Homo-oligomer: A and B are copies of this chain.
């Protein structure tokens, strides 16, 4: 089944929630390492969110971590998005894409577009062949995203709008028969102004938007509305610290309950 169709179904059934697994060492429960905590968090959440997104930077062996988290994510039916932010030149991307998309149980990977279309092409080929998905960084949620992504080009567009055009062009023919959405999605921070996100949506009508910046980083509810596609979906809201590590310092003993409460609060918040 096409990646975007699978993700669309899950979002309809469970809400457009993606749980970020960013195992910050100082917040882990005593006795659990990054992977062990990640597995626990996946088990708690995998039947109730559409996707689980481990941030590979926090794991010693990134792809082994994905393999170990996958069964717990799969058990509840959530898709696994490897937050890898990879980007390399064509011949290397080819080796990389093959290895990661073929051998890793990840359902999708995040990519960095700075190296251009030929750095994305091998990933797209492999994803199309394997029924997997990709999310290209378009507008990220950090303040420094302005340094490059918001630069204004001759003609008036910004750099990230041009990246949005590239994502659209490369992905528009790779849409799922059920959802009409592409396997090539975009990362768009919820911290961007709603009118700007509306513009990105207009440029990428078929892309799934993976939206970080909910919770810990702030984020405007109107931005989420602006991100929805014509059918009112195509969005996946990602929360990391605020959902899976909702405490300061070391984890309290009732940490699974805290995650539970954070999930309910986020659900209610997104419904409102």
Contacts and interface: CB of A to CB of B under 8 A. Distances in A.
Given A57-B96, A62-B62, A154-B153, A144 B116 contact: yes
A18 B95 CA distance: 22
Interface stretch (A74-82, A134-142, A223-231, A258-266): A134-142
Of the candidates A113, A143, A151, the one having the most CB atoms from chain B within 10 angstroms of its own CB is: A151
B96 A118 contact: no
Interface string A13-30: 000000000101100000
A43 interface: no
A255 interface: no
A142 B115 contact: yes
Interface string A72-96: 0000000000000111111011011
Contacts of A179: none
Of the candidates A112, A152, A166, the one having the most CB atoms from chain B within 10 angstroms of its own CB is: A112
Contacts of A116: 140, 142-149
A163 to B, nearest CB: 7
A99 B56 CA distance: 12
Chain A interface residue bracket vs B: 35 or more
A117 interface: yes
A163 B148 CA distance: 8
Contacts of A145: 115-116
Which 8 pairs, one residue from A and one from B, show the smallest C-beta to C-beta distance?
Answer: A116-B144, A118-B144, A116-B147, A57-B96, A89-B142, A114-B114, A61-B61, A117-B144
Given A116-B145, A152-B154, A154-B156, 9 more contacts: A55-B88, A58-B92, A61-B61, A89-B144, A112-B114, A114-B114, A115-B145, A116-B148, A152-B153
